[in-house]
Structures are given as C-alpha cells and as structure tokens.
Amino acid sequence: MYERIPKEGSSYSRWFDYVMEKAELYDYGRYPVKGCGIWLPYGFKIRRFVLNYMRKLLDETGHEEILMPLLVPEDLLSKEKEHIEGFKGEVYWVTKGGEEDLDVKLALRPTSETVISLYESYWIKSYKQLPKKYYQIVNIFRYETKATKPMIRVREVTTFKEAHTIHETYEDAEKQVIEAINIYKKFFDTLGIPYLISKRPDWDKFAGALYTIAFDTIMPDGKTLQIGTVHNLGQNFTKVFEVKIQLSDESIDYAWQTSYGISERVIAALISVHGDDLGLILPPEFAPIQVVIVPIPIKDVWDKILKTSKDVYERLKRNNIRVHLDDRKEYSPGYKFYDWELRGVPLRIEIGSKEISTGTVTLADRLERKRKQVPLDEVVKHVKEELLKIGERIRERARQWFRTKIFRVKDLEEARKVLSEARGVLEIPWCGKEECGHAFEEILEAKVLGSPLPTIEEVNVDDAKCPICGEKAATLIRLAKQY
C-alpha cells in the first residue's frame, strides 16, 4: 500500500510526486491544461497556515492588503520597455469576449508592477502620503515553455504574494529592501526552510528592476529553488507612469519603488526540506492536524479505550491544539500509523490496553519516530512541550543538512567535482566581470545565483583569484544546478 521512496538524490522527483498525490496536497498532471492543478483540502489547509503567517508578518509591518485586476491591457503592460521585453515571451493573451474580438489584447497578469504604478499615479501626490506598502495574494500566469512541475514550475501560479511599496527617496527604497529581506528571513526561519541570500547578477535581475535580491533553498536532489525575490525598482516604473510627487523640500520628482514576492514554491520547499522517505514532516505551526489519536482496538477494553481517546481529544481541542481522532473501524492501527506519517502529522497518541491499565498514553513523534509514555492526566502539558520540541528539531535538522550542501571551492576542478558528486551550492572567487560570470555558467553547466550581500554576510576572499581570468577576486560567486 505505502511505498518508501528515498527522498534525497535522484529519486527526489518521484518522491515529490508521490507525496503530492498520496498525502492529497495538489492534484496535478491530469488537468487538460498543462501546468495547472488543483489544491486539495489537505494541501489547501497547509497553504492557509503558511499564508496567514505571511499576512501577519506583512500586516504588522504596515503593509496593506489590496486586490488588483487580473487583466492587463497590452499597452499598459508594455509601458516599461525592459519589463515587457522580459515578459512578452511568456504572457497569456485574452483576445475574445463572447463571440467578439477585443479591440485591445488583454494579458493575464504575469506580475502587477504596471497595474500598481498606474494606480499610484492617481493616488500619490505628496511625500506626506509615503511610504505606502501594498500587497496582494493572487494567481498569476506564465506561459512556460520548460517542463512543468507541480508548485515549482507551473503556468498558473496559484499563490503569488506580491508586495509593492513606494517611497520619497532612493534611500527609503533601500531601507525597504532591507525590511523586506528581514520579513522573508523571519518567514523562512519559522517555516524552517534554510536559504542563501544572493544578489542576482545583472543579467538575471527582474525585468525592470535596478537589482534583485533572491532567496534560494536547496532541494533534496541538490538543485536550488528560488523561493523569494526582492527588487529595488528605482524610478523605472514611476517615470513611465508619471508617478510624480511633491518632496519634503517642495520640489517635484518621481517616486521610488520596490517590489517583492513569494509563491507556492514556498510550500514545495516546506514539503521537500522537512519530509523523509516515509512522507511529509510538518512543523506543528503549519500542520493542519498537529496531533492524531489512534485508539488500539482490544476487544475487552475497547469501550474504555474509546472513551479515554475521546476524552483526550476534547482536552487537547479545548487547549487549541489541532487534534484528530482516527476511530475508523475499517483500518488497522498499523495502516493508520503509516497514513498519518505520510501526511506529516507531527505527533501521534496511541491508546491501548497497556495505556489504560497504567493510566498513561503513548506519544510517538513523527521526526524520530520514538515512543514514550506519559501520564494520562498530564497529557495536555506533555503534548504542548513535545510539539514545541518537534518544531525546533525539525528546523535544526533542516539547517544542519543545508550546511553540508554549500561548498566553498577555489578552482574549477573542485567545482566540477562538487557539482557532479555532492550537489549543492558552490561558492567560488570571482573578479566581478560579467564575462567571467557567464564563463562559469558555461564551463560548469550551472546557473549563477549571484553573490552574498555584504550587508547580510561578511565575505572574505583574501588574496583569492578569479579562476577564469586570474585577476584578484572581488567577491564570491554562487553557482548551482537550479530549478
């Protein structure tokens, strides 16, 4: 019934598809439009917890939630030249309404910088209104030509959180970039998804931005996944959309913008980073069910077992723990154990004749799969403690694994070895020239993630040399096989 698929290494992709399907997260691959799927109830609940946490972080830092139109007329989308150049190959176009041809083609938004800039040109007149921080959580569309993969590379991105901010000065926008990075750090730290923060090279920044900062995590097969980006947009959009404001010194100038986004890739990462060969492992904060109670059917004491199980259920529920009592008769306890392990429920409570006779319950944690007995009358306290501990251990385990996947190397020989054997992220000295960046990509058949941010990490390259041109290194460059 249940398979055990090695999560790490080359079987990761099979593992991922397997848990998607068996844990009933997201039904993918049988809808007649490629790259589109459906969120199933269990997956949707995980998504709700993750998004609610993101909303909390944004709301408490002064971001305001809004909802913009999906349809973007061609001329609006095309106003910023770099922007449309970057997106035009992957935009879906609506050309008909009913039986009629539309006068103007309408894009399904690939992102909403152009829409918010249009509105800001109506709304924002003075520095006194600034800063303004908006966000929305919506679906966006990309006509991907590459192979699609559920939640990771899709044509309907169902879960795009895009924030858009506007400021009086360049310095304010720079500060906002830092705030955004700090919000995302807190977000990913709580989810337990480890990351590297890199400044994307100029040739890979967001179309229309001054620069792009990206969060990358590492998947179980050693490939990186971009899970968040932060863009300083400068005045690129405010100039073409005429978002002119009165400054505090009474002069008139274009405003400054940033934008930053995450998508359902966060959930793909949450699943992939924490799971094991048996299925999901969910941090309790984001688990739809935190505790499952499985009564062990023993004929003579069944009534008592069931009564105790219900009692424990009620006590946990009263304490706001998301608990489920699995009293289905048609399945064996062993089947139920596997079933809930697959779904990543962090803690299981077993109640059988032994527990009844000793006035205890057995707790089994999903991460280490160890059992322990605790007194029945202290079950709430122990469950709370265990959930806290499991959450911490899940996160710590992810951090430890992540550290083993980052390799600082000095030359191309070492670099090749890492990419072919260990897989993960390379950090290699770099002179800073674009041509050497491209050379790395070609020689190593990997993607440049960018360089560490000096404001976030100290980088010491000593007297290292760029292995491409032999010149003195200015920084490190990160490379990886990338999703």
| Residues of the shown chain interacting with a second copy in the complex, contacts defined by CB under 8 A | 27, 30-33, 36-41, 44-45, 47-48, 64-73, 75-76, 88-100, 104-106, 108, 115, 118-119, 122, 134, 139, 143, 145, 156, 158
Write down the least CB distance from residue 459 to a second copy, Å: 39
Kindly give, in sequence order, each residue whose CB lies less than 8 Å from that of residue 37, ignoring residues fewer than 6 positions away: 26, 27, 28, 29, 31, 150, 154, 158
* In the complex, least distance from residue 370 CB atom to a second copy, rounded to whole angstroms: 33
CA atoms of 227 and 266, how far apart (whole Å): 6
* Closer Cβ to a second copy, 40 or 459, answer by number: 40
Where does 124-234 have alpha helices with state H? 170-191
Of 118 and 197, CB closest to a second copy: 118
Cα gap 59→77, rounded to integer Å: 28
Contacts of 35 (CB under 8 A, 6+ apart): 144, 148, 153, 154, 155, 156
Nearer to a second copy, 122 or 251 (CB): 122
Q: Looking at beta carbons only, is 122 or 147 nearer to a second copy?
A: 122
Q: How far is the CB of 145 from a second copy (least distance, A)?
A: 8
Minimum gap (Å) between residue 99 Cβ and a second copy: 7
The pair phi, psi for residue 117, each rounded to 5°, is -65, -40
Q: Where are the beta strands (DSSP E) in 355-481?
A: 360-365, 371-375, 406-408, 425-430, 447-452, 475-480
Q: Could you tell me which residues are beta bridge partners of residue 372?
A: 363
Q: Which is nearer to a second copy, 241 or 430 (CB)?
A: 241
- Cβ of residue 168: shortest distance to a second copy, in angstroms? 18
| Identity of the residue, 271 or 418, whose beta carbon is nearer to a second copy in the bound complex | 271
Contact assessment for residue 292 and residue 217, using Cβ atoms and an 8 Å cutoff = no
Measured from the CB atom, is 102 or 443 closer to a second copy? 102
What are the phi and psi torsion angles at 108 (to 5°)?
Answer: -80, 125
CB of 326 to a second copy, least distance (A): 16
Distance in Å, CB of 319 to a second copy, minimum: 19
By three-state DSSP, how is residue 263 classified?
coil
